[in-house]
Structure formats: C-alpha cells, structure tokens
Structure 1
Amino acid sequence: MNRLRALWQNVNASLWFVPTLMVAAAIGLAFALVFLDAGMSHDWVPDYPLLFGAGSDGARGMLTAIAGSMVTVAALIFSLTLSTLAQVSSQYTSRVLRNFMADRANQLVLGFFVSIFVYCLIVLRTIRGGDEGGFIPSLAVFMGLVLALVSIGVLLFFIHHMATAIQASTIIRHATEETHKAIGRLFPEELGEEAGPQQAQDLLRQAGELRWQPVPARATGYVQSLDEKALLVLARQLAGVVRLEHGIGGFVARGAALVSVARYEQATVTLTEELTKQLTDCFSLGSQRTIEQDAGFGLRQIVDIALKALSPGINDTTTAIIGIDHLGALLAQLADRRFEQQLRADQARVRVIAVRPTFAGYVATAFDQIRGSADGNVAVYLRLLTALATIGQRTHAPERRRDLRQQADLIAEAARRTLATDYEREQVRERLEQVLPRLAD
C-alpha cells in the first residue's frame, strides 16, 4: 500500500497523466457524437444553416485547420513550459520544479490542446462525401468549432498563469501553502502508546542492550514515505523492536542499513527473504524528497530560494525577506504543535525507535544558512529577528523559547561581526531588545 501511494503521488505530479486522461476523454467524446449523429439520421444543415452550413469538403477543411493550429499551439505551450522550468531552476531552485509539474492548471492546458487535435483527427476520418455515401457528423464538427473557440480563452489564461507563476512571491506562496497542509497532516499523529519522559528513558535503555541486526536497503534514494503502522505490527510479530536508521527525507545508499531489528529474548533475528521484503516494503525511496510526509522539505524549498536571492550573482534582498516572512509563518504554525516522541511502546516495551524531526531542527533548517549568507545585510538580520518574535508568541514551551533565543543570539553575533556601520548595528541592537522579552521563559 505504501508503494502504491508513492506511485500515485509521482504519477499525479507528472506532466503526462492528466493530458493522457483528457486525450482518452476526447476520443470518447468524438465517437459518442459521431454515433449520435449516425443514430439520429437528421440533416442539421437545412434546419440550422448558420451553425451547420458546411458540406463534406467544408467540414474537412475546418477540422484540418483546427487540428493543425492546435498541434502548433500545443508545441508552443510545451516550449514555454520547458523554458519556464529552466528559468525557475536557474533563478530560484530546482527543488520547486516538482511544484510546477504538479500544477493542475499547466496539466489541464497541455491536455486541452492535445485533446482537441486528437478529437479533430477522429472526427475527420468519419466524414464522407459524394460517391463515398455522404455522411457528415454535424454535431461532432460543430463541437470541434466550439472547442477551437474555447481554446483562445485557454491560451490567454495560460499566458497569464505562467506570467504569474514565475514571480518569486507566487512560488514562495505555493511552497508555503503546500507546507502548511503537510504540517496540518503530520502534527500531531499518534501511533501505538506514547511513552512518558521517564518511561521513554527506561525503554530506550532496555532497547540499547539488544542484539541489533541491520536490514540493508534494496535501492538508493531519499526516504519519501514510510508506513509506521506496518512497522509496529512487524515488531509485535517479532516479539522485538524495529529501529529506524533514517528518517523521512534522509538519504540511504543501496546495501546500507535501512532499519535494524532485534528480539527481547536476546536471540539474533534471522533475516529471511520474506522478512527483509516486509521491512523494506514499509519504505518508499525515490530520487528526490517529497512533501507528503516531509514538512522539512517545504522549508528547504523556501530556504533555497532565499539563499539564491542572497547570492552575489542575484543580490535580491526583497525576495529573501519574503522567504523569511513565510518561514516565520510556518514555524509559528509548528511552535504550538506536539511533536511525536522517538519511541512507540506496546505492552510496556518499546516496539519502534523512530527518527523524529524536532522543533530545534526545523528552526535551524529555516534560519542557519540564511543567517550565514546574509553577511552585512541589516535588512535580513532585522527580518530574522522579527520572525523569531512572531514564532515566540505562539509557544510557551521553555525549551522551544530557548531554541529561539539561541537563534537571536547568533543573529546578534553575526550583526556585530559583519555590519559595517554603527548605525546598522544600533538598529539590530534595538530590535533585539524588543524581541528578547518575548522569548523569555
């Protein structure tokens, strides 16, 4: 099931899946209208000459012209799409290309023009005139004309959509919305019984005395998703514990340990082919990270855009500030969420030792590299401190506020070290004095 879910996510985010469905629908529509015309045996031309006033030659000529123009426009759209993808990859980051490919509007527009081309071809082959017996599927021909007229509006929509989609603010907003949904799905999430702090330490100490047997990965790639419920069931069946060696978004090489297993009876686990397959099937590996179970990847996309904006070749502080604002909003959403513990217990014994993301890890992912790339940029330092204040308002957990204060101290240190004037340093100092009280325990 986990592999099927990952396969569906990859297919659904491809540029070919929706257009293929639309082509199939266009073929079905063409045959349906042709059979409807043949079954009705009604001559539409004399009754409605303005709508159906075309003989066999006229119908062929019109459909030929529509088909030729549609395939030309489809080629233009494919070229524009590829050009946009190349521009986005070079100017922002290649990690947002998946978002463009998964954009439903792009998929529908590509499918629409290709579908009209296929529709016209299907209808063209059914038109007969003169000695051929005389058959003109007037309804099908009229539908081809309607689709051609609608395509003008679709083309204008596509140009507007692409012009909007390549703007930095739009790219960051889409990444933020996707990450916001992922956070809502992933935090909190409960599996098995949660262990209390002291109980967790006891269980972890108990599990550390076991004889661990590593289970090698069968492929190379990033961990895109995993089925922890299935791992919990397998651990119960083994009367032991499963320890994850990589979390969501982690990279694993073929043959390296993906998980480790052990039994409580101190007996070494025999890794049969069936057991190895069951364990590895709980993981989905791919060539790139995805956001479905990896909220950190959404943060990573925005960070990469901000880093590219701060690079000497681009030097776009405004885009970096937009990214910081959205990162602050996402971390504020995470600030009051409960993060899952590392251990999953069952019957007073730990069953799964997971690799969990932490709030401190997310904060470091969001701000560390941006702070390091913002040497001498007072606007970025000020906005980072503002983002920390926004996040701090959403949590009263002492350890999380300490993480935020640590970031504030690092920003203040970087400002003292890299800012060139006393005026800029004073700005940072004043902002820091406003932020620190909001981060107090």
Structure 2
Amino acid sequence: MLQRIKIIYENNKIWIYLIRHLLISMIFAATAILIDTGYLPVMDFIPSAFATNTDLARSILATLAGALLTITTFTFSTIMVVLTMYSSNFSPRVVENFLTDKVSMKVLGIFVGGFLYCITTLLFMRDIMQGLPVISATIGVIYSILCIIYFIKFVYTVSGSIQASKLINKLYLQAYEMIETGMDYRQKFERIDVFDVDQFPKCFDVHSASSGYLELINFEGILDLIKNIDCKIVVRPCIGDYMAKNMNLFSVYYKEQSQLPDNFDKKLYNCLSLTSQKMILGDYKFSIQKIVEIALRAISPGINDPNTAIHCIKILGVLLSKIGESDGKYTSIQFKDYKGKLIYEDFNFEKDLYNTFYQIIHYGKTDLSVVFALFEALKIIMLSCSESSLYSVRNFAKYLFERCGDFHENDFDKLKLVDYLNEITTFKYPTN
C-alpha cells in the first residue's frame, strides 16, 4: 500500500507542490482579510509599523500582483528553455529530473500563490472602511521577499542544472542510492545462480491483462498469499520492463491444486502495478540508462564531446562495481516459517554489464579515448567485484577487445589495448 501511494505521489507531485503552495497562499489571504475586516480582532496587538492605510495597501498589492505575474511568465519561459536544452543536449529521459526538482516545482507554486494572494486581498479591500489600518500589504511585502529568495535560488539551480557534470553526478547519486537500498534488502535472503523446480509436478503461468511498465512488485503481498502453500513462484519480468498484454508475469510451480486459493492468478496480478511511462522509483536501470544516453549523445558527431562520455563511462563503472559485489543472478525470497518461496531476477551483474555498455561500444568503438575509458571502467569494476563477477568482467574485456581492436591497427594503439586486456584477464585479488 505504501509503495502504491509513492507511485501516485511520483506521478502527481508537480501538481501536489503547486496545489500545496496555492492553498498556503489562500490561507494567508483569508487570514489577512479576516484581520483587515475586523472579524479577527487582533489588529490592536499588531505593531503600528506593520499596518498601512487602504490606499497604500491597494497600491502595494497591485504593484506586487503585476510584478509576480511577470516573474511567473519569465520563470515558465526559463523552464521551457532548459527543458529544450535537456532534450537536445542530454536525453529526453532526463527532462523529468529538472521538472521534478524541488526548487523547480516550488518556484512556480510560490509565484502563482503570491499573485493569487494579491488579487484576492485586493478584491476584499473594498469592504474595508477608508482610513482604517490594514495588514494585507505587509504580508504581501514579506511574501514578495520570500519570492525573491526563491527566484535567486531558482536561477542558481538552473545555472547548475545545465552543467553536464552536475547532472551526471545527480543521476549517479540517485542510481547509487537505489542500488545500495535494493542490495541491502536482497542481502536478507539467499542469492542463487540457478533455481530448481523439479520437485513441483504442476505449473501454470499468470499473464498480463494490460500493457505498461512494471513499476511495483509487492513481494510481501505475494508471500502472504503463499504462506501456507508449498510452491515456488518465479517472477518473469523485472521492475522497469515493458509488459504487453498477455505476456507472462509469473510462473507458479506447485504440488496440489487444492492448496491454491480461489482466483489465485488474479490475486497475484493485483500484487503488481503497471504504469504508462517509466518511473525512477525503484528502477536503478532507468537511472543507469539516463547516464548511458548522455554518453551516447556526447560521442555523437553533432556534439562531439568525448570527455563528457568518458566521465559517464567511469561513473557507470563505479555503479556496476557496486552491483558486482553481489553474487548470484536471482534472489530467493522466503520468510521464516513460510512454505512458499519467491524467485526474482535482479542485480544480474553479467546482464547489467552488457546492457550498460553495448550501445556505447557500438557507437564509440572508433574513438580510441572512449575505448580506453571502457577498459578503465572495467578496471574500476574488477577492484570491487566478487570472484564470480570478476569472471564476467574478464569475458567482457575480451568481447570489448574483439569489437574494437580491428578499428585501431596502429602498433602503439594496439599495444595499449593489449596491455589493458592482459591487465584485466590476469588480475588476481591479493592474498593475505
């Protein structure tokens, strides 16, 4: 349930931030109006320095309303320019990173809320007797100071967001946190390379009733369903995979049909959540994909920025080194005293290694600096990965040499590539 709430929040958090700031501004407006009209008799307790007459209040509020509306328009235009630049220079997938940034979401809500406050209090200013002190203008001035602070913060955020290094670092921290969180959870259970289902004579599959990206698997809910059932359920897709209608979601291996509850397939299906678009929540591969796309855009002929691509490749090496610390391809999830067991494929280092680098190899194989960076990334990985993952690194180094070696026939280039390959294939962990 909590994960579903998080998905709803992620899908609508831009509107949530906007509505929240609009509600706050309306609370300020209602409070100011009640004080100015005398319904809240607190004016006597407010220092006279914070009170103004109605004419001055109208002038201040009208000026602030026009200024805030102008700044809102300018801010919206700036956001559109940054989004266009993100899409053209980096990747369309990283657009949401700027849109969902807290400062970006807050700034429009604060400016629109300030404009709403000003015009609302101006509307009720006619009900206030001429010559009586009012507090609306003072609150408006304080609100405008807050808007200026956020506008400066927004400008600073925009100036930092358009820098490739800061964007890459933000994506790296996002991916690393998800990988670390996921691996910490998986360490509670058994990691395996293969799974056996021979002890279960019967099997059926659960298929998708709709299409979309898999964004949530309720492992606890599935295990509660099979708490007293001697069975094994294999989850076929991974979080972030696109599932078309009628694709296989689960394979259920069991002994007796009588053990399964009614509508068991529907209950299993309800433990999954499909969305129309990919979300960053729980999908570390999506964050890695964004860094890969920035690297691909950097080595494209139109941009030709190999140094950014090299930085991305080394960052990817660090992320994969973290994944390489884990052994096994599957997580066997089973709670204590539960009969049922759940098999889920994740942190498959060999597959993640290939899926991360194969596009970069294809488009960057003729750029020697990119090839060297790929070997350097493999060296970063092998220094931290497990013994089983080291075997995959060595095989991938051979694959990389075979794909790129023919494009660099110069003796010096070839010698350097051979040195990289030998260093990786002959590497051994130091013994104590």
Normalised by the length of structure 2, the TM-score is: 0.88
Aligned to 1:10: 11
Confirm whether residue 125 of structure 1 aligns to residue 123 of structure 2. yes
Aligned counterparts, 1:14-25, within 5 A: 15-25=14-24
Aligned counterparts, 1:360-375, within 5 A: 360-375=350-365
Shift of 1:193: 5.9
Q: How many equivalent pairs are there? A: 425
Q: Is the CA contact 1:224–1:284 (under 8 Å) kept in the aligned structure 2?
A: yes
Amino acid of the structure 2 residue aligned with 1:248: I
Q: Is the CA contact 1:334–1:359 (under 8 Å) kept in the aligned structure 2?
A: yes
**Structure 2 vs 1, CA of residues 382 and 56 (structure 1 numbering), >3 Å: closer, same or farther?**
same
Counterpart-to-counterpart distance in 2, 1:35 and 1:289: 46
Unaligned runs of at least 5 residues, structure 2: none
Aligned to 1:391: 381
Shift of 1:338: 5.1
Taking only the aligned residue pairs, the percentage that are identical comes to 24
Counterpart-to-counterpart distance in 2, 1:127 and 1:286: 48
Counterpart-to-counterpart distance in 2, 1:317 and 1:122: 54
Aligned to 1:194: 190
Amino acid of the structure 2 residue aligned with 1:26: S
**Structure 2 vs 1, CA of residues 222 and 439 (structure 1 numbering), >3 Å: closer, same or farther?**
farther
**Structure 2 vs 1, CA of residues 150 and 356 (structure 1 numbering), >3 Å: closer, same or farther?**
closer
Aligned to 2:273: 284
**Structure 2 vs 1, CA of residues 69 and 429 (structure 1 numbering), >3 Å: closer, same or farther?**
same
Counterpart-to-counterpart distance in 1, 2:292 and 2:96: 16
Q: More deviation in 95-104 or 253-262? A: 253-262
Aligned to 2:311: 322
Q: Is the CA contact 1:67–1:117 (under 8 Å) kept in the aligned structure 2?
A: yes
> CA deviation digits over 1:370-390, x for unaligned, max 9?
112112211111111111111
Aligned to 1:102: 100
Aligned to 2:300: 311
Counterpart-to-counterpart distance in 1, 2:377 and 2:28: 53
Q: Is the CA contact 1:241–1:353 (under 8 Å) kept in the aligned structure 2?
A: yes
**Structure 2 vs 1, CA of residues 260 and 270 (structure 1 numbering), >3 Å: closer, same or farther?**
farther
**Structure 2 vs 1, CA of residues 35 and 354 (structure 1 numbering), >3 Å: closer, same or farther?**
same
Confirm whether residue 352 of structure 1 aligns to residue 342 of structure 2. yes
Residue in structure 2 matching 1:263, options 254, 257, 264: 254
SS in 2 for 1:206: coil
Confirm whether residue 210 of structure 1 aligns to residue 199 of structure 2. no
Give the root-mean-square deviation of aligned CA atoms.
2.9
Q: Is the CA contact 1:220–1:253 (under 8 Å) kept in the aligned structure 2?
A: yes
Amino acid of the structure 1 residue aligned with 2:148: I
> CA deviation digits over 1:88-116, x for unaligned, max 9?
11221111122122211111111111111
Residue in structure 2 matching 1:63, options 57, 61, 64: 61
Amino acid of the structure 1 residue aligned with 2:236: E
Q: More deviation in 141-150 or 401-410? A: 141-150
Shift of 1:257: 2.9
Shift of 1:244: 1.8
Counterpart-to-counterpart distance in 2, 1:352 and 1:415: 41
SS in 2 for 1:260: strand
Counterpart-to-counterpart distance in 1, 2:191 and 2:306: 45
Shift of 1:30: 2.2
Unaligned runs of at least 5 residues, structure 1: none
**Structure 2 vs 1, CA of residues 165 and 136 (structure 1 numbering), >3 Å: closer, same or farther?**
farther
> CA deviation digits over 1:140-176, x for unaligned, max 9?
2112112223433432332221121022112111111
Aligned to 1:90: 88
Q: More deviation in 228-237 or 187-196? A: 187-196
Q: Is the CA contact 1:175–1:298 (under 8 Å) kept in the aligned structure 2?
A: yes
Aligned to 1:376: 366
SS in 2 for 1:352: strand
> CA deviation digits over 1:234-254, x for unaligned, max 9?
123554333322121111112
Shift of 1:223: 0.6
Amino acid of the structure 2 residue aligned with 1:25: I
Normalised by the length of structure 1, the TM-score is: 0.87
Aligned to 1:242: 233
Counterpart-to-counterpart distance in 1, 2:186 and 2:113: 45
Counterpart-to-counterpart distance in 1, 2:44 and 2:258: 82
Counterpart-to-counterpart distance in 2, 1:192 and 1:314: 45
Counterpart-to-counterpart distance in 1, 2:92 and 2:236: 27
Q: Is the CA contact 2:192–2:332 (under 8 Å) kept in the aligned structure 1?
A: no
SS in 2 for 1:204: coil
SS in 2 for 1:236: coil
Counterpart-to-counterpart distance in 1, 2:338 and 2:60: 76
Residue in structure 1 matching 2:289, options 265, 280, 300: 300
Counterpart-to-counterpart distance in 2, 1:276 and 1:59: 66
SS in 1 for 2:17: helix
**Structure 2 vs 1, CA of residues 181 and 193 (structure 1 numbering), >3 Å: closer, same or farther?**
closer
Counterpart-to-counterpart distance in 1, 2:151 and 2:394: 51
Shift of 1:177: 0.7
Aligned to 2:166: 170
**Structure 2 vs 1, CA of residues 22 and 394 (structure 1 numbering), >3 Å: closer, same or farther?**
same
Q: Is the CA contact 2:329–2:345 (under 8 Å) kept in the aligned structure 1?
A: no
Aligned to 1:428: 417
Counterpart-to-counterpart distance in 1, 2:352 and 2:192: 23
SS in 2 for 1:219: coil
Counterpart-to-counterpart distance in 2, 1:136 and 1:81: 42
Amino acid of the structure 2 residue aligned with 1:391: I
SS in 2 for 1:290: coil
Counterpart-to-counterpart distance in 2, 1:195 and 1:400: 13
**Structure 2 vs 1, CA of residues 419 and 190 (structure 1 numbering), >3 Å: closer, same or farther?**
closer
> CA deviation digits over 1:372-427, x for unaligned, max 9?
211221111111111111111113x3321111112222222233211253333333
Counterpart-to-counterpart distance in 2, 1:366 and 1:136: 69
Counterpart-to-counterpart distance in 1, 2:188 and 2:414: 51
Q: Is the CA contact 2:227–2:340 (under 8 Å) kept in the aligned structure 1?
A: no
Q: Is the CA contact 2:68–2:111 (under 8 Å) kept in the aligned structure 1?
A: yes
